[in-house]
Amino acid sequence: MNCQRTQELIHGYVDGELDLVRNLAVEQHMEDCRACARVFSNQTTLTSMLRSDSLYHDAPDRLKKRIQSSLRKEVKSEMRPRAFGWRWAAIGATAALILLIALTVWNFVPRSTVPAGDELLAQEIVTDHVRSLQLPGHLVDVLSSDQHTVKPWFDGKVDFAPSVKDFADQNFHLYGGRLEYLNNRGVAALVYQRRLHYINLYIWPSGQAGSTAEVTTQRQGYNLIHWTSSGMNYWAISDLNSVELHEFARLIQQE
Ligand SMILES: [Zn+2]
């Protein structure tokens, strides 16, 4: 089994949904493949984060009462004589069901205090960046300043071909690459070095043609810049100052 197939199955593996044969195949592949083993450990971390209490909210009493009273009305209307009509009963039941779904969604969708969309992704990227620098040997799976070594390393590990370039002339030295699991998918992480600072550049397909302008944010002392171009998402993160990180982002976009 190759890396791409393994990663397709890792979701199911984490959730215990695979049959015995596939389960074994995934385990065997991960024993020999550090990159996929890490995709697995990232996925496990993410899953346990999403299950944590911080994302769970009780429905407010107001909403509970509204649903209960709506259900009571529904029961009363069904107890009325036939003249009321089955059609109205069906409409009432549908409305009650919609309210129940609303209650469920209310419980599971994070609100206000919990970041959504890009916010959540930015948090995921900060966590990944910090972890890549903290753990020994975690920063790169392929250590090379040669773009012709790093680019082909991703073949079969991700379902797209990230463009890889060294910018040593501009003092952004290609340091290597690794496989990561972000935004619920395998992504390519390229690592660049500027003096003593490391930059992680995450790349994956955006699913949409065209480009969007750079968006800059700051989080936990790190600078983050993200943009899309030619159908790919790019997130750059570093403790480098924002002027130089912008310089880096421009170089990547000029490719
Ligand atoms: Zn693999």
Percent of the chain residues topping a pLDDT of 70? 87
pLDDT of amino acid 110: 46
C-alpha 185 to ligand 1 mean position (Å): 14
C-alpha 105 to ligand 1 mean position (Å): 36
C-alpha 26 to ligand 1 mean position (Å): 9
pLDDT of amino acid 198: 97
C-alpha 172 to ligand 1 mean position (Å): 28
Tell me the average pLDDT across 123-150: 93
pLDDT of amino acid 109: 53
Asked whether the CA dihedral 97, 12, 178, 230 is positive or negative, the reply is negative
C-alpha 208 to ligand 1 mean position (Å): 27
C-alpha 228 to ligand 1 mean position (Å): 27
In angstroms, rounded to a whole number, what is the distance separating the alpha carbons of residues 34 and 40? 10
Q: Say if pTM beats, i.e. exceeds, 0.75.
A: no
Q: Cβ neighbours of residue 236 under 8 Å, at least 6 residues apart?
A: 199, 200, 201, 202, 224, 225, 226, 245, 248, 249, 252
